[in-house]
Amino acid sequence: MSSLRRFSVVASAHSLTVSVLLLGLALYLLPAAAAGQSKIVWSAQEQPIVDQLRGLRKLSDDVRISATKKLAQEIRQLPVVPNKVVLANWLASLSTEGDFGHDTLQEVATTLAEALREQPQPDEKGQPAEPYVELASLVHYERVQATLDGPQFAAAMAKLVAEDALRQNLNFTLTDLNGKNWTLKDLQGKVVLVNFWATWCPPCRKEMPDLESLFQRFGSQGFVVLAISDEEAAKVTAFLQGRGITYPILLDPGRKVTESFQVDGIPKSFVYDRQGKLVAQSIDMRTQQQFLEMLGRAGLH
């Protein structure tokens, strides 16, 4: 998962100072975190790829697509260097922040799968190691193809299926910034998009105008956006001033709903159709076109 998503749940539970610090360090610490090390020493072959990965978010989307494909191929062509899995997983974590195309994601998934075949990773306290979960997420949610023998990948896929089943049956009641209560199960008959976000999360901020546009477009057809933040009301209110966001902003100060949805990072969105069935979900930031595809599975066009 992307560095912002991986560190977001930690940051949101602490002070603003810690949040900012983690955000500043996340991109640099992700590889070490993924490898279970406090510090990684990059080899001469690895360092040029590390430098490109660190600059990937600064590229325009069209350049980032070609750069991501190129990096996937470069990592795949590396010999079995010590941190090949770390590099492949790092790239995978950045590849879902928007719409970079199925071909790009397929290149990334192929690279990560091959790296894991070359360097199988130990489990993490009885749970599949994070790179297996990342690969499973690409297969399960982004619909790319990847095969990998071994119990960890199978366990990671089973974990995602179980989480989907859990979210299908969840219900919650939260209060929005205007004091109105919203209960998920009471909204059957409407198409509901549940979005987890935070003010300090750049990908969250980037997708908000698209969510607002879709809310305005489909609101008369019974489309509801429930955007959930675990931050304090005053901070969220101040952030929203002048941004023109009219869809409901719900507060989850104890993080009970966030945790019940198994949200390990943000942004993350879930779409329920008019019968209350979970029909689509995202593992990262979505573009307007990607949101439209998700809503289409609920019958909105």
68 vs 76: CA distance, rounded Å:
12
* The domain boundary residue, chosen from 142, 165, 188: 165
Clarify whether residues 187 and 228 are in a common domain: yes
Tens digit of each residue's pLDDT (9 = 90 or more) over 186-225: 999 999 999 999 999 999 999 999 999 999 999 999 999 9
Is beta strand 173-176 parallel, antiparallel or unpaired with respect to 249-251? antiparallel
Q: What is the pLDDT of residue 264?
A: 86
117 vs 114: CA distance, rounded Å:
5
219 vs 213: CA distance, rounded Å:
10
- Computed over every residue of the chain, the mean pLDDT equals 89
Clarify whether residues 21 and 136 are in a common domain: yes
Q: Which residues form the domain of 274?
A: 173-296
Confidence of residue 38 (pLDDT cuts 50, 70, 90): low
Clarify whether residues 181 and 52 are in a common domain: no
* The domain boundary residue, chosen from 135, 165, 195: 165
Number of folded domains in the chain? 2
Task: Confirm whether 146 is domain-assigned.
Answer: yes
**Residue appearing with tokens 């590099």:** 87
Task: Confirm whether 301 is domain-assigned.
Answer: no
Tens digit of each residue's pLDDT (9 = 90 or more) over 88-115: 999 999 999 999 999 999 999 999 999 9
Closest to 169 measured CA to CA, from 158, 155, 185: 185
64 vs 104: CA distance, rounded Å:
10
Clarify whether residues 189 and 223 are in a common domain: yes
Confidence of residue 131 (pLDDT cuts 50, 70, 90): very high
Regarding predicted confidence, which is higher, 266 or 11?
266
Clarify whether residues 119 and 177 are in a common domain: no
* The domain boundary residue, chosen from 165, 199, 226: 165
3-state secondary structure of 176: strand
Clarify whether residues 185 and 154 are in a common domain: no
Task: Confirm whether 88 is domain-assigned.
Answer: yes
Clarify whether residues 85 and 15 are in a common domain: yes
What CATH number corresponds to the domain at position 268? 3.40.30.10
